[in-house]
Amino acid sequence: MDINLNTPIYNAMKKHLAKNPVSFHMPGHKFGRTFIIPDLINVGQLDITEIPGLDNLHQPSGIIKEAQELAAKAFGAHHTFFLVNGSTCGIQAAIMSLCNSGDKLILPRDCHKAAVSGMILSGAVPVYVRPQFNHDFNISSVVLADNIEKALKENTDAVGVYITRPNYYGICSDIEKISKIVHSYDKVLIVDEAHGAHFKFSNKLPDCALQHNSDICIQSAHKTLSAFTPGAYLHVKGGRVSVDTIRHNLGILETSSPSYLVMASLDISRAAMEKQGKEDIDVLCERVKNFCQDIKDVSEYRVLSDSMIKSGTIDVTRLVINVMNIGRTGIEVENILRNKYNIQVEMSDLYNIVCITTHGNTSEEFEKLKNALCEIKLDFKKRSILTDICIEDIGIPEQKVDLKEILHKSFFRKSLLESIGRVSYGMITPYPPGIPVICPGEVITKEAVKYIVKIIEAGGNVTGVERDGTVLLLKGG
């Protein structure tokens, strides 16, 4: 580690440790001494807690304040909060800060489940907008600025707009246009940029939402930067939302024992990106470009590229590889890559595999992935692939009971197959990508059940459906 880096949290931790202090405080492992696994001892030395000199995440006045200020400057925000409970708690706090019970929030239906839980907690009422659909890859694509504007016109009482950008497939809606429209209606824009913490540091990538004045922008630094899981940032820009209100809500949601390992890693990730982010991303983009060139010659695979997205851009570091033409599902290819080639991708769906790449991925690893895919396609399976099933058909299910009422209702279990026409109590979510097919209070449709069953049959993971095939339904619904 370059000790000259301006990393206030890490530097203070090292200084504290150098004094060889006697610890009669938590954590109980006492700098890792009680660990019986030697690998953990170095980590244990850095797993310290809020003692004088090491500041307090919930009321920062020293090193954490300084580190957050450095992050705000680096990302172009007016204020940055370090999050030790992932983007999830940042999204929830952002929605709670904007929406009082009954307030309308405009958002595309392909939002992460954290947004739905944020609306349950705040009592917000969703006004869903349908995102565009990319039929070549069978995935959700951008949300159109025009559709956001239409929703704003039809819901003049909405308090703001929430978008996910990029989505899990690296697809970015036109933030410049959306931001201008939302602000022209004097509404707040929250951007879930969980997958875009690296954007700010290279002009080879889409713009960061803060560059277009999003009011709140939440980024999972553990996904595309080098922070420990689940380190994330919540950035605030402009004066439309109160920093104090967000701090208050984070105080309700976040642990009172924040991890210094996570906080220091957020601090160090920022410093690393400032120091060498541009160069690292250049190296990565070159490796990705070479991979895409090579895989282009293998006509069975298609890699998602900018030209395939109308009214938006893509993050080139997110590899989305469509595998339909080899007669296998993405889930099957993910399993083969893992079991036969020792390669683990980020996620798969019925049609695609998705890789998160960073400069930590070597050229040899890209080569290994390419070679594995070339071998896999030789084992072509002649069968009609599942083109008959697509999430677009599900649309936006009817909301029978408001999200804010759900928490106080009773539920019972029933098999998914018998649940058609009933009101869901739970969130039924293929994970990843974590986008609910059915949200609490919504009527379960035949199309939704068909889609969920296909994913489970293909070996995918669906939270909200138990191993015995049951789901939670609203009593009396």
Ligand X SMILES: Cc1ncc(COP(=O)(O)O)c(C=O)c1O
* The length of the chain, given as a count of residues: 477
- The stretch near ligand X (CB under 6 A) out of 57-65, 85-93, 291-299, 409-417 is 85-93
- The stretch near ligand X (CB under 6 A) out of 27-35, 84-92, 122-130, 442-450 is 84-92
* 349 in contact with ligand X (CB under 6 A): no
* 170 in contact with ligand X (CB under 6 A): no
Least Å from the CB of residue 422 to ligand X: 28
Amino acid occupying residue 287: R
* 110 in contact with ligand X (CB under 6 A): no
CA angle 390, 396, 400 (to 5 degrees): 135
Least Å from the CB of residue 306 to ligand X: 20
Contacting ligand X (CB under 6 A), which of 192, 254, 267, 315? 192
Least Å from the CB of residue 369 to ligand X: 21
Least Å from the CB of residue 385 to ligand X: 25
Residues 38-77 that bind ligand X (CB under 6 A): none
* Of 251, 249, 258, 207, nearest in space to 75 by CA: 207
**Before 433, cis peptide (omega within 30)?**
yes
Contact assessment for residue 71 and residue 237, using Cβ atoms and an 8 Å cutoff? no
What kind and span of H or E run contains 125? Answer: strand 125-129
Q: Are strands 302-303 and 318-322 parallel, antiparallel or unpaired?
A: antiparallel
- The stretch near ligand X (CB under 6 A) out of 190-198, 298-306, 322-330, 411-419 is 190-198
Contacting ligand X (CB under 6 A), which of 109, 112, 247, 359? 112
**Residue with the closest Cβ to ligand X?**
86
* 161 in contact with ligand X (CB under 6 A): no
Least Å from the CB of residue 218 to ligand X: 7
- Between the CA atoms of 59, 210, 346 and 431, what dihedral angle is there, to the nearest 10 degrees? 70
Task: Identify which of residues 132 and 220 has a Cβ nearer to ligand X in the complex.
Answer: 220
* 87 in contact with ligand X (CB under 6 A): yes
**Before 230, cis peptide (omega within 30)?**
yes
Burial of 65 (0-12, 13-18, 19+ CB in 10 A): middle
Dihedral sign (CA 95, 97, 100, 105): negative
What kind and span of H or E run contains 382? Answer: none
Q: Tell me the CA end-to-end span of the chain in Å, nearest whole number.
A: 58
* Of 461, 469, 415, nearest in space to 437 by CA: 461
Task: Identify which of residues 83 and 350 has a Cβ nearer to ligand X in the complex.
Answer: 83
Distance separating alpha carbons of residues 245 and 256, to the nearest angstrom: 18
Task: Identify which of residues 347 and 444 has a Cβ nearer to ligand X in the complex.
Answer: 347
CA dist 134 → 208, 348, 373, 379 (Å): 23, 16, 23, 27
- The stretch near ligand X (CB under 6 A) out of 55-63, 87-95, 179-187, 306-314 is 87-95
Task: Identify which of residues 266 and 401 has a Cβ nearer to ligand X in the complex.
Answer: 266
- The stretch near ligand X (CB under 6 A) out of 20-28, 96-104, 192-200, 446-454 is 192-200
Distance separating alpha carbons of residues 473 and 471, to the nearest angstrom: 6
CA dist 342 → 307, 333, 336 (Å): 32, 12, 9
270 is written with which tokens?
């920022």
* 175 in contact with ligand X (CB under 6 A): no
- The stretch near ligand X (CB under 6 A) out of 18-26, 57-65, 83-91, 179-187 is 83-91
Contacting ligand X (CB under 6 A), which of 106, 114, 266, 295? 114
- The stretch near ligand X (CB under 6 A) out of 189-197, 309-317, 377-385, 420-428 is 189-197
* 220 in contact with ligand X (CB under 6 A): yes
Contacting ligand X (CB under 6 A), which of 7, 97, 132, 164? 164
* 86 in contact with ligand X (CB under 6 A): yes
Please name the residues in contact with 303: beta carbons below 8 A apart, sequence gap of 6 or more. 292, 295, 296, 319, 320, 321, 322
Alpha helices for 27-125 (secondary structure H): 41-46, 63-75, 86-98, 113-122
Task: Identify which of residues 163 and 472 has a Cβ nearer to ligand X in the complex.
Answer: 163
From residue 406 to residue 445, what is the string marking binding to ligand X with x (rule CB under 6 A)? ---------------------------xx-----------
* 194 in contact with ligand X (CB under 6 A): yes
Distance separating alpha carbons of residues 34 and 347, to the nearest angstrom: 36
Helix (H, G, I), strand (E, B), or coil: what is residue 128?
strand
369 is written with which tokens?
């992935």
From residue 222 to residue 261, what is the string marking binding to ligand X with x (rule CB under 6 A)? --------x-x-----------------------------
Nearest-10 crossing angle of helices 63-75, 8-18: 150
Distance separating alpha carbons of residues 169 and 347, to the nearest angstrom: 10
Contacting ligand X (CB under 6 A), which of 11, 88, 317, 424? 88
Least Å from the CB of residue 461 to ligand X: 13
Residues that bind ligand X (CB under 6 A): 86-88, 91, 112, 114, 164, 168, 192, 194-195, 220, 230, 232, 433-434
